[in-house]
Amino acid sequence: MKKRNVDLVCDIAELISLEEVGRDRRELLQKVVTSVAKHMMADVCSIYIYDEEEKVLTLRATQGLEPAAIGTVKLQLGEGITGRAVRELRPICVGSASQSSSYKFFPGIHEEEYEAFLTVPILRGLRRIGALVVQARDANYFTPNDVKALRAIAAQLATMIENVQLLSGARVEAEAEPQPVRRTLSENILRGRSASTGTARGKAYTLASGHAESCLLPDPESNGHTVADFELAIEKTAQQIEKLQRQTSEELADVAVLIFSAHLLILEDDQFTGRISNLIRTGTPGVKAIATVVDEYVEVFSKSKMPLIREKVLDVKDLGNRLTRNLLNETDEECDYRGQIIIAHELLPSDILKLSAENVEGFIISSGVTSHNAIICRSLGIPMVALARELADGIPDGEALLMDAEQGIVYLKPSDEVYAKYRELDAAWKVLHDAADVKEETRAKCGERVHIYANINLLSDLKPARKFKAEGVGLYRSEFPFIVRNDFPPEDEQYVIYKKLVDQMEGKTVTFRTLDIGGDKMLSYYSNVNEANPFLGMRAIRFSLRNKDIFCQQLRAFLRAGAEGNTRIMFPLVSSVDDFINARTIVYECMDELEAEGIPFSRETQLGVMMELPSAVEVVDELAAEADFLSIGSNDLIQYMLAVDRTNEQVSSLYLAHHPAILRAINRIVSAAMTLGKDVSICGDLSADPRMLPFLLGVGLRNFSIDIVNAPTVQRMVNNIAIKDAEEMADAMLDLGRISQIEAFLLERNLAPAAEA
């Protein structure tokens, strides 16, 4: 009888799925080890949980060993075969355990009866969670396929186990912070900064970080509800969340991996729902009981030193809101955020996805806008405006708002005239961005061909990319499936995402950018998240080269996805020719591995460089000679050339795309590529800037990767530009050495730079 590893992975996924998991997590671990032992035809399967403070692994579930060993068998980090695997963050497969120098004997649990030993660490990113172990009587029993299967199961277990640990570890007393004092605003028009364009209408809903009362909970004095009523509310809430998770997983398959899992974990927590039940049982009105317990959890979570705990604040507030509405039998079946504009000091990417799934109208943020949050909002079509903290804090809950996220303006209690004006503007915007006006080919006034590609952030961007006739994907930002997860997605999971992207582009060019984290795009589960200066730290290609295992998994997934497609790979934040050659060498190693394993891929996959750093500009001739193509990442190029953090409101006015140093750097990059006959493109905000488009065409750029909804506008602009005129304009601008001179030049041609936010 053959081992059924594929069935095993599917069965474990079903065991852990939100629909099937019971409330006893210890029982779940026991079910997992039983299922693994059965499918792998192993005599023993065990799960160890790691205590980070004590540096100890404790046996928590086993099938095959003495049950009394549970909770008593402990291993120091590095002790025994299992402790060594967890310390070294790698699987260890031993044909004969008794002959291994790392073997640790425990009397009385009968482990010595089993020779074959396979252990896989359970990891969340690079953080140790525990270990999954299988053993068999026969020596050399386990195969490389068994290792792969066990790694897949360990990845599925990691998030569930850690969430349980976080929730249990967070129950500590915390002193309540005073509620922020709200100021009465003296005007009805608030001016901020645009982060994601569009207009939104709705009522203000503040996601403050302090107390549950800031959730839109109804009157806490409502009475007459029994414990039975509350249990029905729990059941209805669970059904809603499970439905929401399924729906989100279908619509946002690449980034929606169990983003509502914390909701159900909290709902299943007896100390949460049980405490509410006890309050109701002793006479506290149901709604007030929910508010009291939610408030306690919010205080504890928000004051935690652990970022992973603080991330649960929104989850517990949302859960309290749903429980209350369901207890009151409100007619709104979905209990979502339609008609609401969320005001928050800060939001996580996963928060944005959750609130998007619950039909939020828009966001007002009162901290610096991170680039990944802005990009996600743009992809989801949700307007976002950044306001000063004192302005955002002064907006009363329930206040009628209209957001003009194009200009960064928020209207309080907008008049009928304001509403009428924005209805007209919305209609005009639809005309300007009508996909029906986009032609299959883009040509300048003189007939020269220009290519427009799409920036893809989420798989949901593929629909507008096809609608607006994108000629391919000029930039796929691969970090988003990493940012919103609780762990590094494994190779097979990445492959599924990338393959969908390639398949849906139907043979058109797809350019994958390798993982670009760091700066303001941090992974909460990466151990080095608190760098002194993250924009100059372990980010982008530096992270990938330092973490070769993670890099190789992504590269292998890229190569596999492009086996029958037209794909390219480019490396971000390259600072030297050596960076590129080191990355290219690893790609070739991955190709050799895939070939040896008989896995299809394309040896013709082109490898390119994102030009974003001053040091790269200085060696652009050498980079152009080595790389297959160059891509100008305009956002970071401007940021690093000018030493301006574009997310810092204090200096954002110095972030100038028309700075003479930027113009000359772009010209130098394009010239180097053209001299060697290499393809060169531009992406970032500058690529769709109508003020700078003539200059970009004038220096020789013909490939533009843009947020594809801007395609109609960009195409119309290109149609009205003669290349000869653009070249003359570019030559004139390159001769100017002052910002003021360039601004005056553009003003003369009715292309004056807009005021920077």
Cα dist. 520→270, 311, 354, 530, 533 in Å?
A: 37, 17, 20, 11, 10
The residue whose two tokens read 């988003």 is 480
Residue 372 a catalytic site member: yes
pTM above the 0.85 mark?
A: no
Assign 360 to helix, strand or coil: coil
| Residue among 279, 195, 273 at smallest CA distance from 238 | 273
The residues of the chain scoring below 50 in pLDDT are 1-2, 4-10, 14-15, 17-23, 170-184, 186, 209-220, 754-757
Residue type, 7: D
Across the beta sheet with 92-94, what order do the strands follow?
A: 74-76, 56-63, 44-51, 127-136, 116-124, 92-94
Which pLDDT value is given to residue 384?
A: 92
Which pLDDT value is given to residue 177?
A: 40
What is the chain's percent helix, strand, coil content, to nearest 5?
45, 15, 35
| Residue among 473, 250, 522 at smallest CA distance from 371 | 522
- Asked if the domains 5-169 and 189-430 are classified in one and the same CATH topology, the answer is no
Asked if CATH classification 3.30.450.40 holds for the domain at 5-169, the reply, yes or no, is: yes
Task: Establish how many alpha carbons lie within 13 A of residue 321's alpha carbon, considering only the half-sphere containing its beta carbon.
Answer: 25
SS3 of 416-464: HHHHHHHHHHHHHHHHHCCHHHCCCCEECCCCCEEEEEEEECCHHHHHH
Residue type, 441: E
| Residue among 151, 129, 107, 155 at smallest CA distance from 57 | 129
In the chain, DSSP finds a helix count (H) and a strand count (E) of 28, 23
Indicate the domain borders of the chain. Answer: 5-169, 189-430, 454-611, 624-749
User: Which residues touch 724 (CB under 8 Å, ≥6 apart)?
Assistant: 446
| Residue among 83, 62, 81, 80 at smallest CA distance from 71 | 62
- What are the tens digits of pLDDT across the range 473-517? 999 998 877 776 656 778 888 898 899 999 999 889 999 999 987
Residue type, 394: G
Task: Establish how many alpha carbons lie within 13 A of residue 662's alpha carbon, considering only the half-sphere containing its beta carbon.
Answer: 27
Q: Are strands 193-196 and 189-191 parallel, antiparallel or unpaired?
A: unpaired
Which pLDDT value is given to residue 256?
A: 62
Cα(379)–Cα(373) distance, rounded to whole angstroms? 10
Which pLDDT value is given to residue 670?
A: 97
What architecture (CATH level 2) is domain 624-749?
Alpha-Beta Barrel (3.20)
Residue 215 a catalytic site member: no
Q: Is the CB of residue 444 less than 8 Å from the CB of residue 691?
A: no
- What are the tens digits of pLDDT across the range 60-119? 999 999 988 898 899 999 899 999 999 888 899 999 998 888 888 888 888 889 999 999
Helix axes 371-380, 349-357, angle to 10 degrees: 20
- For residue 547, how many other CB atoms are within 10 A of its CB? 17
Cα(578)–Cα(542) distance, rounded to whole angstroms? 12
- For residue 654, how many other CB atoms are within 10 A of its CB? 16
- N-terminal to C-terminal alpha carbon distance within the chain: 68
SS3 of 97-123: HHHCCCCCCCCCCCHHHCCEEEEEEEE
User: Which residues touch 364 (CB under 8 Å, ≥6 apart)?
Assistant: 192, 204, 341, 342, 343, 344, 384, 385, 386, 387, 392, 395, 401, 403, 410
User: Which residues touch 384 (CB under 8 Å, ≥6 apart)?
Assistant: 194, 195, 196, 362, 363, 364, 365, 369, 373, 374, 377, 405
User: Which residues touch 130 (CB under 8 Å, ≥6 apart)?
Assistant: 47, 48, 49, 50, 57, 60, 86, 121, 122, 157, 161
Assign 260 to helix, strand or coil: coil
Pull the structure tokens for residue 163: 């969430």
Marked catalytic residue, from 45, 215, 590, 683: 683
Marked catalytic residue, from 372, 451, 658, 659: 372
Pull the structure tokens for residue 386: 């950044």
Cα(746)–Cα(687) distance, rounded to whole angstroms? 17
**Topology (CATH) of 454-611:** TIM Barrel (3.20.20)
Q: Is the CB of residue 322 less than 8 Å from the CB of residue 237?
A: yes
The residue whose two tokens read 């007619």 is 331
Cα dist. 471→166, 440, 451, 628, 686 in Å?
A: 46, 8, 7, 19, 19
Q: Is the CB of residue 138 less than 8 Å from the CB of residue 116?
A: yes
**Topology (CATH) of 189-430:** Glucose Oxidase; domain 1 (3.50.30)
Which pLDDT value is given to residue 271?
A: 81
Cα(713)–Cα(707) distance, rounded to whole angstroms? 11
Dihedrals phi, psi of 94, to nearest 5 degrees: -120, 125
CA 416 to chain centre: 39
- Alpha carbon dihedral 374, 378, 381, 384, in 10-degree steps, equals 30
Which pLDDT value is given to residue 306?
A: 64
Dihedrals phi, psi of 80, to nearest 5 degrees: 70, 175
Dihedrals phi, psi of 433, to nearest 5 degrees: -110, 30
Buried b (16+ CB within 10 A) or exposed e, 471-492: bbbbbbbbbbbbbbbbbbbbbb
User: Which residues touch 24 (CB under 8 Å, ≥6 apart)?
Assistant: none
